[in-house]
Amino acid sequence: MRTTRLRILSLILALGLFVLAGCSAGPTSTTAGTTTAKPAAAIKIGGIGPLTGGAAVYGSSVANGAKIAIEEVNALGGLQFELKFEDDEHDAEKSVNAYNSLKDWGMQILCGTVTTTPGIAVTAESFKDRIFTLTPSASSTSVIEGKDNVFQMCFTDPNQGIASAQYIAENKLGSKIAIIYNNADAYSTGIYEKFISEAAGKNLDVVSTTTFTDDTANDFNVQLTAAKNGGADLIFLPIYYQPASLILTQADAMGYEPKFFGVDGMDGILTMENFNTELAEGVMLLTPFAADATDARTVAFVAKYQAAYNELPNQFAADGYDCIYAIYEACKKAGVTSDMDAAAICDKLIEAFTAADFSIDGLTGENMTWAATGEVAKAPKGMVIEDGVYVGMQSGN
């Protein structure tokens, strides 16, 4: 009996040691003889933008581009990212709600917001909370002013206005210019103010300047008639693509055929439902990205994007992609790890982004650098819509 008891005790001891050994093992799974180590904890990146509503093409594109970059970064090993993207419907209050939801989730870095008005509201919160923020496309200087933790991947509105006036003048695109802008929108007015100032210095003849608001963005006959009566052969549209599509439609209905020149908010007009995209033929705009570019980086991205989403990526998709890679390179440079809190990461990324030796080659620019103000430095590209796609404009077009 004693021998039997000893055998039982020995068996229990052996089983206990086996269980302890199993609990302390590092690998989490074994498949077909291949051991997979437990992945490192991921840095939590939040995203905010319109995934539904009239501006959904912007937010969806940013989210899709960012997802592709996340997959690529995680496949490299080392730093791991987790992305959670919230819908704000291009509404400031809903954007702040989305931000708070991401904070509850444990967000450590913010990639957002996508549009300007929500961005002004959200960056006020991220500044107070010391969460590093890189917006792909909220371009107003009001988004970054007085906030050392907020940076932009896109051109600021003033830069777009100045660059547009310079491009029109240097390439002699129009002899008489009309402007139609939204005077109730920070994005539109910011571009307009710098454009009109630069136009005077470039001796551009502005023959008509008319405005609208979101509440009146359905009938543009008054604005178009003023441009036509002034003899404008080019209309500058520092606005989003939705009202721009109505302007093109109504200009066609009245038999008025000037050139149209827009900014990055024009991107998306070819995806507008119930819009005759033939009317967009010849429309020009400044944008940092061209899907028809032949460099290896762009070709690979376009192929992946088309395979995943069955459409050509626009500049917003490229902005989202570049944001993730900029954050990745800055995290590597600064030694950021997933166990750091958001405030510590914020300090490290501010230092990295503003370092003299920090630059990024991306889809939307080469040797991109950032000032302490949060503004990015990169060169815009002139695009024209031909046969339903964007193609690069050559000087003199």
Report pLDDT for 5.
41
Contact indicator for 185, 214 with CB cutoff of 8 Å: yes
Buried b (16+ CB within 10 A) or exposed e, 231-259: ebbbbbbbbbbbbbbbbbebbeeeeeebb
Contacts of 330 (CB under 8 A, 6+ apart): 336, 349, 352, 353, 358
Residue 159: HSE in the Cβ half-sphere, 13 Å Cα cutoff: 19
| Residue boundaries of the structural domains of the chain | 43-155+295-379, 158-287
Q: Specify the CATH number of the domain 158-287.
A: 3.40.50.2300
Report pLDDT for 256.
98
Report pLDDT for 292.
82
Which stretches within the chain are classed as H helix?
A: 2-23, 56-75, 92-105, 116-129, 157-170, 186-201, 221-229, 241-253, 296-309, 315-334, 342-353
Q: How far apart are CA 150 and CA 263, in angstroms?
A: 22
DSSP state of 93: H
User: Do 43-155+295-379 and 158-287 share a fold?
Assistant: yes
Strands 365-370 and 376-377: antiparallel
- Number of residues that this document lists for the chain: 397
Report pLDDT for 40.
62
Q: How far apart are CA 347 and CA 172, in angstroms?
A: 46
Report pLDDT for 21.
36
- CATH topology for 43-155+295-379 is Rossmann fold (3.40.50)
Q: Provide the β-strand partners of residue 360.
A: 368
Report pLDDT for 395.
43
DSSP 339-385: TS-HHHHHHHHHHHHT-TT--EEETTEEEEEE-TTS-EE---EEEEE
Positions of the chain with pLDDT lower than 70, given as ranges = 1-40, 394-397
In three-state secondary structure terms, 148 is coil
Report pLDDT for 26.
31
Amino acid at 347: D
